[in-house]
Chains A and B, each alone.
Chain A
Amino acid sequence: MKKKMVQNTLLLLLGVISVLVAILLLEGKWAGLLSGFGAMLASLSGVRIYSEQLFKRNPELKRRHDITENDERNVQLNNAAKAKVYEFKMWPFLTFFMVLLLAETQLWIMLVYVGFYILDFFIYLWSLNRLMNEM
């Protein structure tokens, strides 16, 4: 719990510093990128810190939150939805690949794109193998 709090506080600081650096020291696309990244990091860790504090003050709320999160039906529904997304993902991938091809995009961009898809597939196979050994 304390470790998480320290982690989130550090991430919050990193986010705030990133935004400040982007505003004060940088210009153009790098300023935009860094401020976006910093804002995302700061808001995410800020919300986590706030909810941790809220749960600390209200254990009943924490218990209800944990029940909802660990509820076996919710977990199954969540996993089924993720599996559906994984199955569906191939079509947008192929469509975008065709767009890249027709737009005569540089070869390395297409290779990186395909590489990510292959990596994704290998992660799937690795997870499947690990789960088969576990169960």
Chain B
Amino acid sequence: MESKMESLLYKHRSGGLLLDNRLAEIRRARGITQEELADVLEVSRQTISSIENGRYNPSIVLAFKIARYFRMTIEEIFIYHEGEC
């Protein structure tokens, strides 16, 4: 049975690689809206939404910005599964 955390993971298939992220879960846990996060990171709200839904992989710079904002490591937010597709 999937844990709550796993169920909140969003999967993104890109070039045969699988990238999950826990952005939506972490953002909700901190009580931040997509607009607020987008405003702090200086990106559009649609970008945050697309990352959360797994439709868009952020650049390494944006991934760092997100991780720094939440005081976490990139690996805690973005999970890369090599060769699991």
Count of A-B residue pairs with CB < 8 Å: 24
Name which of B44, B47, B50, B56 has the most chain A CB atoms within 10 A of its CB. B44
- Looking at chain A's contact residues, is the secondary structure mostly helix, strand, loop, or mixed? helix
Expressed in whole angstroms, the minimum distance between the Cβ of B20 and any Cβ of chain A is: 19
Residue of A nearest to B56 (CB): A73
Residues of chain B within 8 A of A74, CB atoms compared: 44, 47
Which residue of chain A has its CB nearest to the CB of B62?
Answer: A72
Interface residues of B (CB under 8 A from A): 38, 42-44, 46-47, 50, 56, 58-59, 61-62
Docked pose: A64 CA to B56 CA in angstroms? 21
A67–B56 touching, CB < 8 Å = no
Interface of A toward B, CB cutoff 8 Å = 67-68, 70-74
Docked-complex contact A73 and B42, CB < 8 angstroms: no
Chain B residue contacts of A67, Cβ below 8 A: 38, 42-44
Ranked 6 nearest A-B pairs via Cβ = A73-B47, A71-B44, A71-B43, A67-B42, A72-B59, A73-B56
Chain A nearest CB: distance from B58 CB in Å? 7
